[in-house]
Structure 1
Amino acid sequence: MHEACGIFGIYSTKEIDTFSIAQFGMFALQHRGQEACGVSVLKGGQIRTAKKEGLVLDMFKSISDTGDFMGNAAIGHTRYSTSGDSGTKNFQPFYATNAYGKVHMSFVHNGNLVDFKNVRQELIDEDFPFLGDSDSEVLLRLVQKYFDRGLVEAVKEAVKHVKGSFSVLILTKDGMVAFRDAQGVRPLCIGKLDNETYVCCSEDAALNAIGAKFVRNVEPDTTLENIDVYKIRTESGKRLYEQSPVEADVVIGVPDSGIPSAVGYSQISGIPYEPILVKNRYMSRSFIIPTQAMRERVVNLKLNPIANQ
């Protein structure tokens, strides 16, 4: 099961340790994207943003004054590029400024929009500034266009003009809004730290990481439509044998996501499962690396067969 980008948001009516909470929540979503990450924090009615190429730890280490990132709300993003190049201009959170040049809205997105180029050009023609070339920013500029109607109404209008999958968090000085596409293609959970503090994120693994309550979504420590993902993968392996049985000496799983499916295939076929491929734990995830050539190079370094098996 493949992931693409992770989003995390927390909002409280009181000042909380947004720096640490956002960091721990985003750590739990690192597997969804490792090209870059960023965080925006609401402090004293102002939104501050930090973004950096690399991992969550690298980005938070680069923040020299952590006090600037202690407020009552935050949103964060771990990037896996599916649209737009890997340049810094496409790192999230994106932001919109008001007539006085101050940031009044920060935005993170997981998903893919289709047929968005005409909408993007229309917004450019209307003098809406684009920082990068990703599909995510099109949705932000649409919300910005209709923002004078109020944030919720702006979101309702903006989504009428796009097609595709999306889970989005928007942070303003007045609050945080979370929304998904009508089909719910991209995951999003809602959790609660206490009666004054709410959390939204791509997977419930991030809720668990910060001690919040509620459940929904993807990875073996996560649930999908109330079924844990390990079980889904195991059942997928069983279905694969039913559809495509083969004669073989052993079943091999490609670590890590392929192992439960291989176990399921072995269970129903009677063919023994053997852990023949060994994973180098110090290598990064291969699927979310941007180019095919780089993916192949990492896979060659990442997986090694046990020669005497």
Structure 2
Amino acid sequence: MSAELEDIHEECGIFGVWGHPDAARLTYFGLHALQHRGQEGAGIVSNDGGHLIGHRGLGLLTQVFHDEKDIEKLRGDRAIGHVRYATAGSGGLDNIQPFVFRFHDGDMALCHNGNLTNCQSLRRALEDDGAIFHSNSDTEVLMHLIRRSVRGTFVDKLKEALNTVHGGFAYLIMTEHEMVGALDPNGFRPLSLGRMKNGAYVLASETCALDVVGAELVRNIRPGEIVIVNDDGYRVVQYTGLTQLSICSMEFIYFARPDSDIYGVNVHTARKRMGARLAQEAPADADMVIGVPNSSLSAASGYAETIGLPNEMGLIKNQYIARTFIQPTQELREQGVRMKLSAVRSVVKGKRVVVLDDSIVRGTTSKYIVSLLREAGAAEVHMRISSPPLKYPCFYGIDISTTKELIAAKKSVDEIRDYIGADSLAFLSLDGLIESIGLNADAPYGGLCVAYFNGDYPTTLDDYEPAFLASLTEEDRQRLPRFARDVSEYNGNEYQVTTDFE
């Protein structure tokens, strides 16, 4: 993927199946399709007649499940699984999901995609009330809330817990008798329900995982919904009416696989439209268009078709370079980029090239790409970015927690152009992004969360709000009335462990 060659990371992917005789193996294949969403760890929990059996570990899926016995021991016709990239909670086996909980009245397993904005406050309150946590992941908070609820049924307990946590979440829960999925009131993360030919039901973060296992899409899980799957089929219940679709725009820009559909919009098609719109907004006098592999190739195709230039393969990504987790110096970071990306000298030499990328985070990779192409003999290098400038942090499950490393938060477009050494630089407009994706939902920004670009967050920021307020400029405060108050006026951390969901 591109996005400054993985400077941004998404938290995880989830997959579950109910009613297939080889459930664990099917879950493995589903998670393999979602490997791009998390590469630090993986796990699968199967359900064998009500007994939950788990296997998890650090590394890629193939490293965690490196022996046939790892799958064979996961018996049963029901399973859930998870691939992880850490945003909340540190690395280490304790934070690898799904988590398994053994209770006197039955086992449960839980995994989560997203980030809770009020996790710290809830965790403090729960610990003060005697709760013992086994990880420092925000995922575990939900199970403590469920178990502390005095509601009569599991679904009612879950409803209460879901109304207590805030932020972005797609949960997948396995009980002895049911598989349950739940989505936050804004639907920041995608979650889809599919059905296989044998009648088995599948829940997955992306539809590409449904395709891999031969499942047909039944429906997208909507904001504020719980889907309950058991031997009788599935049913959907609403746990809150206070919903507003705000799906993460980065799913379309970068994270999701191009063969996935999100709320009926194909990701490749959306990216191609972004490139086409960018060609209209910021044409370049050049000889060819090249995309930064892999997630920018669709946008490059749209840009080239619209502007009437050949779409060439001028950059090659080495698909077999392992991710580098230890990068203590800038020199090593740049070396990691050099290992991942090469220029095709015979294609770009003497040519004026337009380079399509999906985002600029720190600017380090963009600077290197421009330098790489110039070293290969490119006469001119024009950078075009198929999203608006990234200026604000994300609090819903993407690894952009502060503004200090976002170059667009500190520099103008011209200053960024000078820093990366390009002949010209242009970003897609916010309206261009929204219209290109084309969700057209009856919600602000057409149903997208675009807070990374304009600071307009669709929810309160809870524990993160004081630090965010402190980072705002006076101009931001004037433009964002909700954040106009002074930091000293903020009176956060006032959360109840339980709330009424009626």
Query: What TM-score, normalized by structure 2, do the two folds share?
Result: 0.56
* Code of the aligned partner of 1:236: M
1:273 paired to 2:311: yes
Distance 1:181 1:153 in 2: 16
In the TM superposition, residue 306 of structure 1 has moved relative to its aligned partner by: 1.2
- CA change 1:118–1:172 in 2 (3 A) is same
Contact 2:24/2:78 (8 A) holds in 1: no
- CA change 1:297–1:150 in 2 (3 A) is farther
Residues 264-307 of structure 1 show CA distances to partners (whole Å, capped at 9, x for unaligned) of: 12222234332110111212468xx6979676543321110112
Distance 1:282 1:142 in 2: 42
In the TM superposition, residue 48 of structure 1 has moved relative to its aligned partner by: 1.1
* Code of the aligned partner of 1:132: S
In the TM superposition, residue 243 of structure 1 has moved relative to its aligned partner by: 3.1
Which of 42, 46, 52 matches 1:37? 42
1:8 paired to 2:15: yes
Report what 1:174 is aligned to.
177
Distance 1:222 1:30 in 2: 14
In the TM superposition, residue 141 of structure 1 has moved relative to its aligned partner by: 2.3
Contact 2:25/2:71 (8 A) holds in 1: no
Report what 2:128 is aligned to.
125
Distance 1:162 1:40 in 2: 24
Contact 2:53/2:75 (8 A) holds in 1: no
SS of the residue corresponding to residue 61 of structure 1 reads: coil
SS of the residue corresponding to residue 187 of structure 2 reads: coil
Report what 1:209 is aligned to.
212
Matches within 5 A, 1:16-27: 16-27=21-32
Distance 1:34 1:71 in 2: 26
1:234 paired to 2:272: yes
SS of the residue corresponding to residue 44 of structure 2 reads: strand
Report what 2:486 is aligned to.
none
Contact 1:10/1:74 (8 A) holds in 2: yes
Report what 1:250 is aligned to.
288
Report what 1:158 is aligned to.
161
In the TM superposition, residue 116 of structure 1 has moved relative to its aligned partner by: 1.8
In the TM superposition, residue 252 of structure 1 has moved relative to its aligned partner by: 2.1
Larger Rg: 2
1:55 paired to 2:60: yes
Distance 2:263 2:319 in 1: 30
Distance 1:295 1:26 in 2: 28
- CA change 1:104–1:297 in 2 (3 A) is farther
* Code of the aligned partner of 1:48: I
Distance 1:285 1:205 in 2: 23
- CA change 1:155–1:66 in 2 (3 A) is same
Residues 10-65 of structure 1 show CA distances to partners (whole Å, capped at 9, x for unaligned) of: 112xx611232111111111111111100111112211111111121222235736
1:298 paired to 2:336: yes
SS of the residue corresponding to residue 264 of structure 1 reads: helix
Unmatched 5+ stretches in structure 2 = 4-8, 221-250, 349-502
Contact 2:100/2:109 (8 A) holds in 1: yes
Report what 2:262 is aligned to.
224
Distance 2:129 2:194 in 1: 38
* Code of the aligned partner of 1:113: L
* Code of the aligned partner of 1:243: E
* Code of the aligned partner of 1:96: F
Aligned length: 303
Contact 1:43/1:68 (8 A) holds in 2: no
1:106 paired to 2:109: yes
Contact 1:3/1:32 (8 A) holds in 2: yes
Contact 2:210/2:216 (8 A) holds in 1: yes
* Code of the aligned partner of 1:92: Q
SS of the residue corresponding to residue 69 of structure 2 reads: coil
- CA change 1:244–1:284 in 2 (3 A) is farther
Distance 1:17 1:179 in 2: 24
- CA change 1:65–1:221 in 2 (3 A) is closer
* Code of the aligned partner of 2:45: S
Contact 1:96/1:144 (8 A) holds in 2: no
* Code of the aligned partner of 2:291: G
Distance 1:106 1:290 in 2: 31
Distance 2:156 2:93 in 1: 30
* Code of the aligned partner of 2:272: T
Contact 1:80/1:290 (8 A) holds in 2: no
Distance 2:188 2:209 in 1: 19
In the TM superposition, residue 194 of structure 1 has moved relative to its aligned partner by: 4.3
Report what 2:377 is aligned to.
none
Distance 2:147 2:77 in 1: 23
- CA change 1:99–1:238 in 2 (3 A) is same
Which of 121, 135, 138 matches 1:135? 138
- CA change 1:22–1:8 in 2 (3 A) is same
- CA change 1:164–1:191 in 2 (3 A) is same
* Code of the aligned partner of 1:304: S
1:76 paired to 2:114: no
* Code of the aligned partner of 2:53: R
SS of the residue corresponding to residue 311 of structure 2 reads: coil
- Which deviates more from structure 2 when the two are superposed, residues 289-298 or residues 177-186? 289-298
Query: What TM-score, normalized by structure 1, do the two folds share?
Result: 0.88
Q: Give the superposed CA RMSD.
A: 2.6
Contact 2:52/2:100 (8 A) holds in 1: no
Unmatched 5+ stretches in structure 1 = none
In the TM superposition, residue 191 of structure 1 has moved relative to its aligned partner by: 0.8
Distance 1:46 1:297 in 2: 48
Residues 235-274 of structure 1 show CA distances to partners (whole Å, capped at 9, x for unaligned) of: 0112223333344443221101011111212222234332
Residues 208-257 of structure 1 show CA distances to partners (whole Å, capped at 9, x for unaligned) of: 12111116694111112222211100101122233333444432211010
